Amino acid sequence: MFKGGLGFGGTCFPLDARAFKKSLNDVKLDSMMLDGIMQVNERQAKRSIGLLRYLPGKISVLGITYKENTNVVEESQALEIAKALSPYKELIIYDPKGMRNARKVLDAKYANSLEEAIKEAKVLFFAVEWPEFLSLKDEDFEGKIVIDPWRMFKGRKIKRYIPYGSIHHE
């Protein structure tokens, strides 16, 4: 299932998409739709970097794997965003399963818990839809800027809330 959010990554789909594009080009078929999908996916990461780079304070990147319920960080949008931001911003990384693999490729501060990651940051960037994140209460976000590409917290009473795919900020 596809749904709007930060973008796709991982070890299979991006590789398969590039292989499919090459196959289309080899037999001289139009790859315009696939090109568009890949461009939008890349643009989501750039959009996030642009937004996060200019927000004040420490940023907690919540989720570093390419999707929830895995420890895979290869071709993770969250990891690429964190790598791009690390020269400019102080980051705190938290992921329920992916921190061991992320430490191999990203030099950053890693929180020992979700609570620690939230407490230490001014900006909370929910890069992956981990079910654990849904247990957070509105008061956990007090004084924070919440960036939510997946709209996990849509409809909640969060003062400084920026969901993707929405013109109106709640």
Architecture of the domain spanning 13-163:
3-Layer(aba) Sandwich (3.40)
List the Cα angle 140/145/147 in 5-degree steps. Answer: 100
Q: What is the pLDDT of residue 50?
A: 93
95 pLDDT band, cuts 50/70/90, is: very high
168 pLDDT band, cuts 50/70/90, is: very low
Average pLDDT estimate for 117-130: 97
The set of residues, in sequence order, having a beta carbon less than 8 Å from that of 70 and lying 6+ positions away, is 10, 97, 98
Per-chain mean pLDDT for the chain: 90
Q: What is the pLDDT of residue 169?
A: 42
The set of residues, in sequence order, having a beta carbon less than 8 Å from that of 143 and lying 6+ positions away, is 122
CA 152 – CA 161 distance, rounded (Å): 11
Q: What is the pLDDT of residue 2?
A: 53
Q: What is the pLDDT of residue 118?
A: 97
The residues assigned a catalytic role are 12
CA 107 – CA 103 distance, rounded (Å): 6
Residue 23 has pLDDT above 70, yes or no: yes
Q: What is the pLDDT of residue 90?
A: 97
